[in-house]
């Protein structure tokens, strides 16, 4: 901080000192150039988030398609199971003894049950992955929105400070010409 130029503890600055301080805030200063370097890296963050969100959406769509395929296969297996139960009496007459047919029918039922169990497990796993991806999407979205809100708040404060500085500078110029800024 600059030494206090006014007696009595009031803080103020000479025009020359204020201009030097203002020059470090205004465009073209070294501070602004360093800030622009940081902005470029901050600008790449939303691009990365967008790319991750696109990839996650594509993965989600692929999983949804796979889920539909598995559901169709499951339905086909259930229809096969119904056909096996309904066609059991026909097999007895065609293939021979009822004991052989019962054994074949039992094996077919066990195989069908095992296939249904595997497909149900696959569906459950895919649904869990979809739920996880939805949660991740929400987190990405909320994080992005929070970042945007923080940037807007920061920009608003900066704009208000700049507007106040310009206003004060214009008042000072009016006083230099002997005009009262309150009368205008």
Return d(Cα 129, Cα 75) in angstroms, integer: 22
Predicted TM-score (pTM) of this structure: 0.37
* Cβ pair 63, 126 in contact under 8 A: yes
- Confidence bin at 148 (pLDDT 50/70/90): very high
| Helices (runs of H) and strands (runs of E) counted in the chain | 4, 0
Residue-wise pLDDT for 93-144, tens only, equals: 455 577 777 888 889 889 989 989 999 999 999 999 999 999 999 999 999 9
pLDDT at 24 > cutoff 70: no
Q: Give the DSSP H/E element, type plus range, for residue 33.
A: helix 30-86
What secondary structure does DSSP assign to 99-144, as a single string?
A: HHHHHHHHHHHHHHHHHHHHHHHHHHHHHHHHHHHHHHHHHHHHHH
- The 10 Å CB-count burial string (b at 16+, else e) for 112-122 is beebbeebeeb
Least confident span in 46-50, 70-74, 123-127, 140-144: 46-50
**Mean pLDDT in residue range 72-95:** 72
């Amino acid at each position: 901080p600059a030494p206090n130029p006014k007696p009595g503890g009031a803080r103020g600055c000479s025009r020359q000192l204020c201009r030097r301080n203002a020059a470090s805030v205004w465009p073209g200063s070294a501070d602004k150039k360093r800030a622009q370097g940081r902005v470029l890296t901050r600008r790449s963050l939303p691009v990365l988030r967008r790319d991750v969100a696109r990839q996650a959406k594509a993965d989600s769509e692929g999983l949804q398609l796979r889920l539909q395929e598995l559901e169709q296969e499951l339905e086909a297996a259930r229809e096969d199971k119904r056909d096996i139960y309904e066609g059991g009496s026909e097999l007895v007459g065609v293939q021979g003894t009822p004991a052989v047919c019962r054994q074949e029918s039992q094996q077919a039922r066990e195989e069908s049950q095992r296939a249904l169990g595997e497909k149900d497990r696959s569906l459950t796993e895919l649904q869990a992955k979809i739920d996880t991806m939805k949660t991740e999407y929400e987190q990405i979205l909320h994080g992005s929105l929070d970042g945007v809100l923080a940037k807007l708040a920061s920009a608003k404060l900066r704009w208000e400070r700049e507007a106040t500085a310009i206003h004060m500078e214009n008042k000072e110029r009016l006083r230099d010409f002997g005009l009262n800024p309150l009368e205008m």
